[in-house]
Amino acid sequence: MDLDTIRTFIMTRGIDFGTKVLAAIVLWIIGRWAINLVARLLRKVLARNERVDATLAHYLSSILAALLNLLLILAILQVFGVQTTSFAALLAGLGLAIGTAWGGLLAHFAAGVFMQVLRPFKVGDFVTAGGVTGTVKELGIFGTTIVSPDNVVNIVGNNKIFSDTISNFSATAVRRVELTAKIANGVDPVDAMKRLRAAIERIPNVVKDPAPDIEVLSFTPEGPLLCVRPYTSNDSYWQVYFDANRAIVETFRDAGYPTPETPSIIRRVN
């Protein structure tokens, strides 16, 4: 190849190609700046909304940035004269294949987005979700981390949580402690309930409104069964639970109540 041929190529094709490269670089710089600006603005707008979790804001801005970057790449290819119609069709087919293969993962993703918007619970709440009971440690876009009372970390798929019943024990100010106490036949239930109510009300962190429920729940062969239901905050639940059990034992012991005994069964032998 002689110098005249090279000079002719540069004058005819080189200038055009260089112009396209320069235009692509400028388009990439301006496009990236605009994409980052839009992503930051979206994060700021979502951050001002108290109903939108920070995790959701981050993922939404990331998804938007990824889509805009893809459009920017297609625009740059168009500058070089590359037909992007077939490329877009290829991306659509690839997306469909990935969506079919990762259907379960996408279901967890969709459920995570709905959970971030609807907010059935937040980090720090004590819940039963997806068959797991414990304190919510992290709200992920695919799974939720729950630490059970025995200090075990459980990661539950969002789709399983969202498609099942969710019990949020921290949604209200107080929570009821469910206990029972059995007294022997012959013990006055009214006297037992009076003594027990006074003992339960003295327990720290037991709220006065609503007042503890001390009533006759049912009757058994051994004697009446009393329900003992004090109310407390979720943070003090286990403290009140154990203190109430201790109060039942000490109250009945100090009152001199006999221990309920199972009636003996008399069998006749013919």
CA dihedral 89, 92, 94, 99 (to 10 degrees): -160
Which structural domains are found in the chain, ordered by start? 3-101 (1.10.287), 119-168 (2.30.30.60), 175-255 (3.30.70.100)
Give the pLDDT of residue 52. 60
Calpha distance 57→60 (Å, rounded): 5
Q: 206 or 38: which carries more pLDDT confidence?
A: 206
First to last CA, the chain: 124
pLDDT in tens, 151-187: 999 999 888 888 888 999 988 889 999 999 999 998 9
Quote the tokens at residue 24: 């692509």
Say which DSSP state 258 is in: P
Surface-to-core class of residue 43, CB atoms within 10 Å of its CB (0-12 exposed, 13-18 middle, 19+ buried): middle
pLDDT tens digits for range 40-90? 887 777 777 666 666 666 667 777 787 788 777 877 777 766 665 656 666
Task: Express each pLDDT in 183-203 by its tens digit.
Answer: 999 899 999 999 999 999 999
pTM for the full predicted model: 0.58
Counting Cα atoms < 13 Å in the Cβ hemisphere of 197 gives 13
